[in-house]
């Protein structure tokens, strides 16, 4: 298995290799790099030999490829709009959907040691593991087959998310609900905490909580507007807002 702690090797150009998705990119990896991309830390010989380092690289690579695609596709969009579109395309939920569609969780189970097969099957059902696998395969593709092959695979695998990004811009409350559901967390609750001003010019204050923890607070001229502002603040705390 190659060590990802050594100096980086020259990056091949991937000429002639245009996989249509992450399953195709996985097929292009040499056996040792493929093994590293599919190895969970729980059965890696040491943590640095698990997929976590490749996941770290793949997260950055995915961001660059998707950002470039959105920048080219939407020349009239503002920085904030592009940021929100990118967040939808590269979200953990989107990565997990792509990983499952490409059979990456099953590939991890098949690659696991026989004694850890049951553990691998259980981990493959966790929300975070498929997303991590998508990013680890992307990272492995970047240092293996190369940027051209990896870009082709990412654009193919995430094509639906890229196409839907501008049309599926959600309001903050809907975006927060989608994020919480995708992460498998408990539902959030909104509470109007007070109001200021006379009836004809009232400002409402709201907060949103999850498991009795305040995620965000906001104010607005209506209860709904205050809740939307609270949701937007929560999304920023969670790293999902512009």
Active site residues per annotation: 59, 135
User: Encoding tokens for residue 179?
Assistant: 């994020």
177 contacts: CB under 8 Å, gap ≥ 6: 187, 188
For 68-115, the DSSP string reads: HHHHHH-TT--HHHHHHHHHHHSSHHHHHHHHHHTTHHHHHHHHS-GG
3-class secondary-structure state, position 34: helix
User: Encoding tokens for residue 35?
Assistant: 């093994």
């Amino acid at each position: 298995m190659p060590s990802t702690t050594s100096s980086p090797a020259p990056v091949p150009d991937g000429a002639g290799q245009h996989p249509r998705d992450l399953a195709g990119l996985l097929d292009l990896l040499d056996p040792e790099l493929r093994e590293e991309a599919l190895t969970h830390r729980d059965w890696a010989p040491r943590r640095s030999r698990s997929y976590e380092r490749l996941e770290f690289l793949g997260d950055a690579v995915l961001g660059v490829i998707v950002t470039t695609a959105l920048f080219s596709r939407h020349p009239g969009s503002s920085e904030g709009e592009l940021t929100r579109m990118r967040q939808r395309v590269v979200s953990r939920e989107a990565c997990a959907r792509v990983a499952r569609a490409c059979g990456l969780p099953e590939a991890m189970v098949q690659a696991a040691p026989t004694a850890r097969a049951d553990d691998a099957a259980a981990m493959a059902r966790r929300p975070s593991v498929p997303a991590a696998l998508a990013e680890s395969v992307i990272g492995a593709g970047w240092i293996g087959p190369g940027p051209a092959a990896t870009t082709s695979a990412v654009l193919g695998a995430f094509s639906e998310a890229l196409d839907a990004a501008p049309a599926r811009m959600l309001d903050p409350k809907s975006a927060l609900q989608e994020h919480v559901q995708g992460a498998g967390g408990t539902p959030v609750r909104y509470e109007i905490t007070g109001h200021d001003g006379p009836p004809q010019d009232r400002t409402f204050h709201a907060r949103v909580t999850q498991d009795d923890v305040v995620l965000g607070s906001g104010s607005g001229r209506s209860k709904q507007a205050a809740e939307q502002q609270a949701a937007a603040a929560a999304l920023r705390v969670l790293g999902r807002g512009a």
